[in-house]
Homo-oligomer: A and B are copies of this chain.
Amino acid sequence: MAKFRINILGCGSATPSARHQPSCQVVDFRDKLFMIDCGEGAQSQFRRMGLKFSRLGHIFISHLHGDHMFGLPGLLSTMALHDVGGRITIHIFREGAELLKTWMDYFLRESAFEIVYDIIEPGERRTVYEDDGLTVETFPLYHRTACTGFIFREKPKPRHLKGEMVKFHSIPVAQLKAIRDGADYVKADGTVIPNAALTSDPDPSVSYAYCSDTLHSLRVAADVAGVDTVYHEATYDSSLEKQARERGHSTAAQAADIAARAGASRLVIGHFSKRYTSGEEPLLEEARAIFPATTLAREGLTIDLI
């Protein structure tokens, strides 16, 4: 069974609180792990959620605020201790790579663990990761400092073979991959059997967008249009819209507006201000009034996209 799962490791803002850890998520795509942001304590949450360091190959950092990256030195040191000779790629803005390199060159100076830096330029739209089944793209967010979102897109899947038709036309096994990929079948006598007669539509490809931290922006809605599940920060409720704007953040209503405009099927909200000491239900209610399929992020939550 293909897996495309979001793990929420932290969904608070600014500083760890009694309720929340700072930002960190792990996308599990067919057992390869991709971390997005890495707030302090990420390695402990990672372990607590039963995730495997050996499967983590890429870390994506949205921006250079401490609550999104102070977990990196500890996480990388632990990985270096457990995976001697291993390597990881960190996708990050240039200044973040330089800061991190200064520390890791010192703390891992006796280790063979390799850190590869992939520099993201501010405002850049680029496919920063690709394998057989998945792409990860950047797109700009609008915060107090340069900030990037990430879209994880499952690649188009093969079409389903109609077994009885394959049998009826005695199609050789060697041809089946091409047919699943959309080719027609040409018989020995030159007769063409169109692909539509041999296959049915593939399972839909699923996608996930990570939007944190950002002002409410229609450009974000346009960039994540057509994505199935959108994570969007919702630091405040609407009564604090002015404060949200001043600090480069969004309200729950604004997050819901983005999901609605993007035509998403699901919205996950997080990056909660610590002022909501008795729970973020007010944020949830506010978002659901605009976009009913909204879920509150919380530490330990997993969401299966497939």
Give the interface of A toward B (CB within 8 A). Answer: 14-18, 40-41, 43-44, 47-48, 64-67, 70-71, 73-74, 77-78, 81, 95, 99, 102-103, 106-107
A47 engages B66 (CB within 8 Å) = no
Closest to A48 in B: B18
A80–B146 Cα gap in the complex (Å)? 21
Q: How many copies does the complex hold?
A: 2
Closest to A145 in B: B110
A40 surroundings in chain B (CB, below 8 A):
40-41, 43-44, 71, 73-74
A95–B78 Cα gap in the complex (Å)? 21
B66 engages A44 (CB within 8 Å) = no
Closest to A65 in B: B107
Closest to A103 in B: B99
A102 surroundings in chain B (CB, below 8 A):
99, 102-103
Mind listing 26 A-B residue pairs with CB under 8 Å? A14-B81, A15-B43, A15-B74, A15-B77, A15-B81, A16-B41, A16-B43, A16-B44, A16-B47, A16-B74, A16-B78, A18-B47, A18-B48, A40-B40, A40-B71, A40-B74, A41-B41, A41-B44, A64-B106, A64-B107, A67-B77, A70-B73, A95-B106, A99-B102, A99-B103, A99-B106
User: How far, in Å, is A152 (CB) from chain B's closest CB?
Assistant: 27
**Given A15-B81, A43-B40, do A103 and B103 touch, yes or no (CB 8 Å)?**
yes
A43–B103 Cα gap in the complex (Å)? 20
